A and B are shown apart, each in its own frame.
Chain A
Amino acid sequence: MEMMLLLFVLVLSIFLGFELINKVPSTLHTPLMSGANAISGITLVGAILSSGSDSSSITIVLGTVAVFLASLNVVGGYLVTNRMLRMFKKK
């Protein structure tokens, strides 16, 4: 049943995603992409749970590497998007 609930959320959020971003001016293509990329670093949540768990050491090692890569993705993604958007000004 939990699986069904997750699938339900999946389908609805995909539709939401298409509705949300269906008209993007080309000026914003790059920031939208890098901003979305930062959001995809949400996998950090899963990485943290593995890295800090009390399971086998291999889980902890894999989880820690995942935390490293995901935080790089998140921090780098948000900062670079912000840097770009600061330049997009109407004069």
Chain B
Amino acid sequence: MILEALQNNTFINLSYILASVLFIFGLKMLSSPDTAQRGNFVSSLGMLLAVVVTLLSKEIVSFQFILIGLIGGGAVGAIAALRIKMTSMPELVALLNGFGGASSLLVASAELFALTTSNLVAMIAIGIATIIGGVTFSGSLIAFGKLSEIMPGKPYLFIGQKILTGLIILLLLLLLFQFCSGIFFAEILFGFDWINEQYALILLISLSLLLGILLAIPIGGADMPVIIALLNSYSGLAACAAGFVIGNNVLIVAGSLVGASGLILTNIMCKAMNRSLLNVLFGGFGAIDSSSSSGEGKVQGDVKPINIGDSYLVLEAASTVLIVPGYGMAVSQAQHSVRELGELLQDNGCEVKYAIHPVAGRMPGHMNVLLAEANVSYDVLVEPQDVNPIMDTIDVCIVIGANDVVNPDAREDESSPIYGMPVIEVDRAKTVFVLKRSMASGFAGIQNSLFFKQNTRMLFGDAKESVSGLVSEFKS
């Protein structure tokens, strides 16, 4: 009796509405630091509710496969989430995005084989869910490969890449039309009789996977945060399309919320680089040959190296210090030493802030995660627009493994490829220390005139070793 009442469609749909409300509140709370953790919990309750009521549905006749998938996937996910190092977070986020996309693709495909009558709306939805899911999946795998350094992180471009991408998009649209209308041109033109929906689906999947690869390989280095945010948005849109396939509102609501939040992040990232999304996607920015870069030659001058002992003396006398971390800090895992240095400076009566550029690192918020892991309070982290106006009052800026986001050419050299990008204007501080392995240019392949400025001192070597060296100087 009770079970029957629970299996009632009205009850299930009401629960879906409640789940959607929990997602909405969860996401809202996630956008403020004080409530974020509770927000994540609220949203997970929504997910639990949606899954449990789905399991009650009368359409389900057997539970064994569901349980295998749920337990297996859940266990792998839990192990990955609890074991992953914070420095590997970008890879994990990319991979999880990809799995979400793949899952939506599979749901759409499974539904095609379950269709008993031809249904135009369902076919359109299946086609679209397949395309978005496929692009998300292969694009995310490529992003994962680049971030985990299984693949070279540099942008990969070849002649005719844009044309090929355009051609595939055109083919996909044509195929989608055929798929939905049931009119197969190949059949009419060439007399192929083997083409049916299932073959068309396989073609659709292959082409979408190819498109995802083509969209992700030209993206490299410093542009990674944009593509990660964009793939995040796609994974939501794929779930949304899957919602149309099975006619379920909770998928549509949750999917479009994720789609919107991913797009907002993508937009923030693009603005932080002063570039349009199209330029990021097709520009192959980092592939610019450094020898053709205009900054070369005229900014050359003498770089002034400094040793740890001398930098300690300068820092010891400083009353305001701004630390600017970049991808180099993540690579050398220097965040814990950096926090220690910050604390020692504070004990010395110095005011310490951290300036975080939105695109520093390889995913949105990358530096914030690392510093949080090292126990740096989030209220000493500042954004470029807040710190630039008071830059003249800062005694020492310590740039740790950041390059393009502190490049003065963005303001001074109109011919520079990054001209116009909002940067952290560290060169206006009284003294700048740049911690750097060597004089190699950043991921954008652009020479940085900061290194040649009068007030810049280069502290060469591994970031972690240099910072630890400073820490021991303070302690002795």
Contacts and interface: CB of A to CB of B under 8 A. Distances in A.
A20 B28 contact: yes
Nearest to A50: B110
B236 A71 contact: no
A37 to B, nearest CB: 5
Contacts of B100: 37, 40-41, 43, 69-70, 73
B377 A67 contact: no
Contact of A30 (B96, B255, B258, B364): B364
Contacts of B60: 48-49, 52-53
Contact of A20 (B24, B55, B74): B24
B300 interface: no
A53 B90 CA distance: 36
Contacts of B368: 26-30, 88
A69 B103 contact: yes
A42 B53 CA distance: 13
Given A45-B251, A62-B113, A51 B375 contact: no
Nearest to B122: A3
A16 B363 CA distance: 25
Contacts of A46: 104, 107, 111, 242-243, 245-246, 248, 251
Contact of B375 (A25, A79, A91): A91
Given A56-B114, A63-B106, A40 B74 contact: no
If over half of A's interface residues share one DSSP class (helix, strand or loop), that class is named, otherwise mixed; here it is helix
Interface stretch (B62-70, B160-168, B179-187, B422-430): B62-70
B54 A76 contact: no
A35 B61 contact: no
Contact of A27 (B33, B256, B257, B260): B33
Interface string B74-93: 10111011101010010011
Nearest to B254: A42
A66 B70 CA distance: 10
Interface residues of B, number: 111
Interface stretch (B42-50, B326-334, B456-464): B42-50
Contact of B37 (A14, A39, A60, A85): A85
A37 B236 CA distance: 7
A53 to B, nearest CB: 6
Interface string B156-197: 000000000000000000000000000000000000000000
Q: How large is the interface on A (under 10, 10 to 19, 20 to 34, 35 or more residues)?
A: 35 or more
Contacts of A47: 69, 103, 106-107, 110
A16 to B, nearest CB: 7
A64 B69 contact: yes
Contact of B372 (A10, A62, A68, A88): A88
Contacts of B93: 30, 33-34, 37, 80
B97 A76 contact: no
A71 B74 contact: yes
Interface in B364-416: 364-366, 368-369, 372-373, 375, 377-379, 381, 383
- Name which of B39, B65, B263, B372 has the most chain A CB atoms within 10 A of its CB: B65
If over half of B's interface residues share one DSSP class (helix, strand or loop), that class is named, otherwise mixed; here it is helix
A91 B113 contact: no
Contacts of B246: 45-46, 49
Nearest to A33: B232
Contacts of B257: 13, 16-17, 20, 36, 39
Contacts of B36: 28, 31, 85, 88
A89 B97 CA distance: 26
Given A28-B365, A35-B40, A21 B261 contact: yes
A53 B115 CA distance: 12
A54 B240 CA distance: 24
B467 interface: no
Contacts of B378: 27, 88-90
B107 A50 contact: yes
A9 B252 contact: yes
A63 B235 CA distance: 18
B114 A16 contact: no
A67 B26 contact: no
A50 B110 CA distance: 7
B222 interface: no
B83 to A, nearest CB: 10
Interface of A: 2-3, 6, 9-10, 13-14, 16-18, 20-56, 58-60, 62-91
Given A71-B72, A78-B40, A78-B44, 5 more contacts: A30-B369, A42-B254, A51-B66, A52-B55, A91-B375
Interface of B: 23-24, 26-28, 30-33, 36-37, 39-41, 43-44, 46-47, 50-51, 54-55, 57, 59-63, 65-66, 68-70, 72-74, 76-78, 80-82, 84, 86, 89, 92-93, 96-97, 99-100, 102-104, 106-107, 109-111, 113-114, 121, 228-229, 232, 235-236, 238-240, 242-265, 268, 356, 358, 363-366, 368-369, 372-373, 375, 377-379, 381, 383
7 contacts: A3-B121, A13-B256, A27-B378, A66-B104, A66-B107, A74-B74, A82-B40
